[in-house]
Structure 1
């Protein structure tokens, strides 16, 4: 999969030439590094103290339960009963399945028929699923949880030709989408092809906050391994956000980016991390851009014999990874998305399209920073709704008027 087009890339500061690299860590993995502009000394300079204070303030903004913000005006759902939705997820894993289970429950509550097409994340499976869905003539198709709409563009056009609206969820970054000012929240070419609406995510902001936490925790002097997957959207913007934050606020920090195909995270991340730790004894932070990779990074830390010495930070808020934070494993921080909240947000946009009202420009889906200090709010063990409050449930339901 290609990365979403991003017009803002040139605005990011380029980091310095690397002082160390993980060249040829694994066949099939590519890496790039940034070096500190001055050698790290282990102490905090005056400039570093300012950076730490800044970073702590940024993280603190997201440590509490998020607030519900209505995405748009209330509307009638009285005519939705009997309508049908076809949902094609990007893949079928714990994260996706948790969201889609709640989406199905919400649909049933309002009399909407919900059909899901499970798959293993292969574009050929997306195409096949879309063709099957179009043949059933649903009232709406959802390309769910980061399925790349550009990979199925002929099918999106086919759906449009048959009068079937299509929405895409959790694929584009919220800030990026807002800069486009298009009718569907995606590039104009996708809107023209048949994409009706989107529900976007705070990918870049979440990665920025992860970087801030590392800056604060390390006293602005960290060696960091960022693990990305160039074949999975929207990692380009996430990596750029991390580089920009470290580059601006932590000149003594050293960042290495390793690219591993998302389909190979399970098999390659443990060895990647183990090798990186052996090469750089000062590497104490590992940042897989999605927390799907956190357990495999933890395996690599264990293989290197450095459990308790290396901290993993990530993003998504998958329950099993939050449990790792709770159990004081190598995972020190997970920027959590409220998966139940996402289900409501996705269905709100779906209901708006089905009801024939204007789609929401922004569903305002939030996140919360979880560390050992506050992860107990998610429950023991963590639950899908724990830690985020429940104002969003009443908030959305008040918008869906009978």
Structure 2
């Protein structure tokens, strides 16, 4: 029952964005003129390299001692996606360093469950509430109640909601969702020489996930008129149907040679769907939100050819920094969550382990926790 309600609530929010952006399920050639393969290749190649350093804020926090003992609630849309565990663990380490504690409450891809998590935080007089990949509108009443009680809310991995603009009690950290999909679009354009036929498994879980795919389509449209893009809508609520949906979409679109799973969360059923279609040998797998399982698949040369990842561990420390600033009524800086393209060519230079993922070593130097502690005045 909750799945039907979840789909209805989310679909209502997505419908607004879809109407503005055009029909997401459309197929066809994406533009006119010559393919800009060189520009796409240059952008993709640049993103295959690790960072020289993480982009920390510069403004120091001098009153973090006043927050000691407070509890911050972290509400991911679902704990089904491994990236939220990575972020939660880093967030816990960061808050512990500042003298605070973390309470994780699984949203379960269910509006009622998400609202219940926020209400639990409000009843417990939490220091702050951090949501991850949850549209504000999905739990607006509960989030409004938290803010009315003086509990700041941080919305992460979502585009800002114009109906709920940032203020002293509400902040946004957008993440790299759109950037990751534009990056894999550039990789596909370059890899195909400007002739790709692409199927994208697009999550309809929020307006943000729809927006990310729109950004990828615009990248194809601007740089690859010879490319064709087809969108196959999927959702967390219908997870068990993703494989059959993927297979049907591949068979409906002969010649598809790239299949994109919007996130690694959907990578396994996407792979199963391609296998069921019988066209595994002619299709290259693509994904974003790279996690350990995705890099293992890359290293094994199993279906996946490129996976864009964002620094999930670093995002945990960024979320802690933003929550501390909101609690201290300090302005939020502009945060950048870094991304990297992992391919079959560069994955051999990456330590494909849970420890390396948790440390942030996949993306660059691992000194950012100490740098955050110094910024907060809590360095040992």
Alignment of 1:108-127 (within 5 A): 108-127=96-115
SS at match of 1:33: coil
After superposition, what is the alpha-carbon deviation per residue over 1:373-402, rounded to whole angstroms, capped at 9, x for unaligned?
A: 112343134631332121433332331114
Q: Is the contact made by 1:134 and 1:159 (CA closer than 8 Å) also made in structure 2?
A: yes
| 1:56 and 2:31 are equivalent in the alignment | no
Instruction: Report the CA distance between 1:268 and its aligned residue.
Output: 2.3
- Residue 376 of structure 1: aligned partner: 348
CA distance in 2, matches of 1:325, 1:195: 42
CA distance in 2, matches of 1:313, 1:374: 15
| 1:150 and 2:137 are equivalent in the alignment | yes
CA distance in 2, matches of 1:3, 1:206: 20
Q: Is the contact made by 1:141 and 1:165 (CA closer than 8 Å) also made in structure 2?
A: yes
Instruction: Report the CA distance between 1:285 and its aligned residue.
Output: 0.3
- Residue 325 of structure 2: aligned partner: 352
Instruction: Report the CA distance between 1:248 and its aligned residue.
Output: 1.8
Residue from 171, 185, 188 that aligns with 1:214 = 188
Task: Specify whether residues 350 and 130 from structure 1 end up closer, same or farther in structure 2 by C-alpha distance, changes over 3 A only.
Answer: same
Q: Alignment RMSD, CA only? A: 2.6
CA distance in 2, matches of 1:146, 1:88: 9
Q: Is the contact made by 1:141 and 1:167 (CA closer than 8 Å) also made in structure 2?
A: yes
SS at match of 1:75: coil
**TM-score if structure 1 supplies the norm length?**
0.82
CA distance in 2, matches of 1:95, 1:334: 14
**TM-score if structure 2 supplies the norm length?**
0.87
Task: Specify whether residues 157 and 334 from structure 1 end up closer, same or farther in structure 2 by C-alpha distance, changes over 3 A only.
Answer: same
Instruction: Report the CA distance between 1:60 and its aligned residue.
Output: 1.6
Structure with greater proportional helix content: 2
CA distance in 2, matches of 1:111, 1:53: 50
Instruction: Report the CA distance between 1:37 and its aligned residue.
Output: 6.5
| 1:396 and 2:372 are equivalent in the alignment | yes
- Residue 331 of structure 1: aligned partner: 304
- Residue 289 of structure 1: aligned partner: 262
Alignment of 1:25-44 (within 5 A): 31-35=25-29
Unaligned runs of 5+ in 2: 1-9
Aligned residues between the structures: 360
SS at match of 1:87: strand
Unaligned runs of 5+ in 1: 16-29, 39-45, 178-185
